């Protein structure tokens, strides 16, 4: 049995797989609301006891946070996850912790072509490094390093790098953000779930357009980020502009990652936000911002850019990594 996990600030997905004749087959999968638990050990113990799981051969978890010496202090949760403690709980010495984007990157290698949407139809297929970027609760970034034969995932915390404005309106946004976060304005502050509503608030304060009735009547308990997205898809002026700025910043940061990793093999977009805003990602603004890198514009405009529609990519990556590298 292979125990795989995708652990994020909003939800935690755990699944049990069998591996036979070169194929993984899922046996059990359960989603937990991460913020309901004080620590991860409660989650894993509940999963094991609820489904009476025994004989776990290997464990691989993709976690939203840096992995240092087999330990992860999660970025958006008060959890510390230790591989040595998991060895005891799961009764196996074969435990591996990955950054969640390492897991997502590895999972991309196992998706079918019909699980992707092309952002750049003119992109060229090349066997070379690939970049992976995913906006969700936070902003994750990773690299698939190609050694000439195989791909190896490399995690990063690139989402916490500085936000770089690309035009005069974004200059104003950066100044506005510095008042909220005087110590550091990361790109994740804007390219993430909470970033969508943050950009909306900026435009509202600028009096860019009049707020719609539905946005004015939102309650504190409402998902404001989701509502901005919904209203943008329905043509609301203020919400549409917020999503367009979000997409431009997302595209520019994807281009930054592509340059840093020299991802001639393409860029994969994961995370929960991209499938929800597909029309805005495909209208040209993302690609234009992605490729606007001066002397390297031609290099970037020839890269493949693919959006994953499979929301279990990280879970799949963790399971395959367990089989290929841990088991």
The number of beta carbons lying within 10 Å of the beta carbon of residue 38 is: 11
How far is residue 249's CA from residue 187's CA, in Å, rounded to a whole number? 8
pLDDT average, residue stretch 314-323:
95
Q: Is 10 annotated as a binding residue?
A: yes
- Tell me the per-residue pLDDT of 60-115, one tens digit each, with 9 for 90 and over: 999 999 999 999 999 889 999 999 999 999 999 999 999 999 999 999 999 999 99
Q: What is the dihedral of CA 188, 250, 232, 33, to 10 degrees?
A: -40
Strand partners, 116: 308
Q: Is 9 annotated as a binding residue?
A: yes
- CATH code for residues 113-309: 3.40.367.20
**DSSP, res 140:** E
Q: Is 82 annotated as a binding residue?
A: no
Phi then psi for residue 132, to 5 deg, are -130, 130
| Domain residue ranges in the chain | 2-106+312-326, 113-309
> What are the strands, taking DSSP E only, across the chain?
2-7, 11-20, 23-33, 58-63, 67-68, 71-73, 80-82, 95-99, 116-118, 130-135, 139-146, 151-155, 267-270, 305-308
- Tell me the per-residue pLDDT of 43-62, one tens digit each, with 9 for 90 and over: 999 999 999 998 999 999 99
| 155 in Cβ contact with 101 (< 8 Å) | yes
How far is residue 237's CA from residue 54's CA, in Å, rounded to a whole number? 54
**What is 158-207 written as a DSSP string?**
GGGSBP---SHHHHHHHHHHHHH-SS--BGGGTSSHHHHHHHHHHHHHTT
Q: Does this chain's domain 2-106+312-326 share its CATH topology with 113-309? A: no
Give this prediction's pTM: 0.92
| 248 in Cβ contact with 261 (< 8 Å) | no
- CATH code for residues 2-106+312-326: 3.30.420.40
Q: Is 195 annotated as a binding residue?
A: no
């Amino acid at each position: 049995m292979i125990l795989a996990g995708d652990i994020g600030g909003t939800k935690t997905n755990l699944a049990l797989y069998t591996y036979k004749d070169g194929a993984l087959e899922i046996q059990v999968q359960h989603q937990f609301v991460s913020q309901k638990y004080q620590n991860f050990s409660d989650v894993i113990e509940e999963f094991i006891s609820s489904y009476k799981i025994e004989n776990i051969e290997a464990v691989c978890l993709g976690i939203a946070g840096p992995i240092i010496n087999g330990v992860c202090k999660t970025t958006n949760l008060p959890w510390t996850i230790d591989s040595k403690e998991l060895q005891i709980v799961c009764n196996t010495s074969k435990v591996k912790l990955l950054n969640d984007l390492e897991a997502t990157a590895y999972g991309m290698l196992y998706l079918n072509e019909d699980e992707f949407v092309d952002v750049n139809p003119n992109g060229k297929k090349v066997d070379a490094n690939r970049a992976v970027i995913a906006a969700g609760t936070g902003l994750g970034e990773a690299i698939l390093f190609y050694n000439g034969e195989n791909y190896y995932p490399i995690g990063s915390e690139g989402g916490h790098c500085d936000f770089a404005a690309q035009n005069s309106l974004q200059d104003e946004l950066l100044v506005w953000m510095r008042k909220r976060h005087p110590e550091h304005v990361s790109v994740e502050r804007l390219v993430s779930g909470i970033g969508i509503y943050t950009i909306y608030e900026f435009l509202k304060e600028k009096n860019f357009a009049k707020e719609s009735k539905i946005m004015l009547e939102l309650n504190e308990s409402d998902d404001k980020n989701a509502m901005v997205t919904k209203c943008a898809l329905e043509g609301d002026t203020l919400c549409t502009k917020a999503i367009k700025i979000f997409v431009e910043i997302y595209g520019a940061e994807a281009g930054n990652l592509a340059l840093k990793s020299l991802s001639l093999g393409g860029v994969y977009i994961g995370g929960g936000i991209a499938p929800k805003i597909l029309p805005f990602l495909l209208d040209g603004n993302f690609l234009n911002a992605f490729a606007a890198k001066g002397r390297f514009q031609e290099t970037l405009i020839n890269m493949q850019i693919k959006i994953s529609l499979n929301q279990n990519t990280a879970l799949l990556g963790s399971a395959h990594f367990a089989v290929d590298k841990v088991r």
